[in-house]
């Protein structure tokens, strides 16, 4: 292999899309390998952690875990802080996003009325609390001010998911009272390299 390869499901969402965006923003020419759900079962056992995304760089074993992938890309291409404490602050927010996903993802496998009860409870309690804590850590317009970092891609993707209104029983307005959080979403959406990524689709 001569160029980096990012492997993820064939959808412009979640942890895979945030890694694709990071690679594109960094200006890296990468292979965008998209896996069909039918192929996944046979492939799962051969990935580092039994999950996607996976980044494969020439000369290295495949790398799993979206935060590790984003931090590596960010460090190499000026999209993650060089100061170790500030970097840890960014990684803390990335983990905050993963905590949210860990709360919502079990509901993806539920049926009503269990799903309705679980999601209404999240919308009434966990999600606004999550957003309040996120908000207090954001400088604006991006997480750390005027410059986009990989942490912003994770924040953008999760806000886009919830604002999209596709999770029934969770109102699309669940983050409406958190302008800095919505501001990160909008700042990433409007970034020229992000616009460029979606324009080429």
Ligand X SMILES: N[C@@H](CCC(=O)N[C@@H](CS)C(=O)NCC(=O)O)C(=O)O
CB 12 → ligand X: shortest distance, Å?
A: 12
Per-residue tokens: 81: 């802080």
Three-state secondary structure call for residue 56: strand
Should residue 34 be labelled a site residue for ligand X when binding is judged by CB under 6 A? Answer: no
**Is there a contact between 96 and 127 (Cβ–Cβ < 8 Å)?**
no
Stretch near ligand X under the rule CB under 6 A, chosen from 63-71, 112-120, 125-133, 152-160: 63-71
CB of 171 to ligand X, least distance (A): 23
| H/E stretch holding 6 | strand 5-9
User: Largest alpha-carbon pair distance within the chain?
Assistant: 50
The answer to whether residue 66 forms part of the interface with ligand X (CB under 6 A) is yes
Residue from the set 11, 34, 43, 44 that interacts with ligand X by CB under 6 A:
44
Start-to-end CA distance of the chain, whole Å, equals 24
Strands 63-64 and 54-56: antiparallel
Number of residues lying near ligand X (CB under 6 A): 10
Nearest residue (CB) to ligand X, 15 versus 156: 15
Contacts with ligand X, residue ranges (CB under 6 A) = 14-15, 44, 51-53, 65-67, 98
């Amino acid at each position: 292999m001569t160029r980096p390869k990012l492997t993820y499901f064939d959808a412009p969402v979640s942890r895979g899309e945030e890694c694709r965006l990071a690679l594109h923003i960094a200006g890296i020419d990468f292979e965008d390998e998209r896996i069909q759900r039918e192929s996944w079962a046979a492939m799962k056992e051969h990935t580092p952690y039994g999950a996607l995304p996976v980044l494969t760089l020439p000369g290295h074993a495949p790398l799993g875990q979206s935060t590790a992938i984003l931090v590596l890309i960010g460090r190499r291409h000026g999209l993650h802080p060089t100061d170790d404490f500030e970097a840890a602050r960014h990684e803390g927010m990335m983990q905050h996003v993963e905590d949210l996903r860990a709360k919502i993802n079990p509901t993806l496998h539920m049926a009503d009325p269990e799903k309705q009860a679980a999601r209404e409870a999240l919308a009434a309690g966990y999600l606004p609390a999550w957003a309040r804590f996120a908000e207090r850590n954001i400088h604006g317009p991006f997480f750390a001010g005027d410059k986009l970092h990989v942490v912003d891609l994770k924040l953008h993707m999760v806000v886009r998911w919830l604002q999209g209104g596709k999770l029934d029983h969770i109102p699309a307005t669940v983050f409406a009272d958190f302008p800095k959080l919505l501001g990160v979403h909008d700042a990433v959406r409007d970034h020229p390299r992000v616009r460029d990524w979606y324009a080429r689709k």
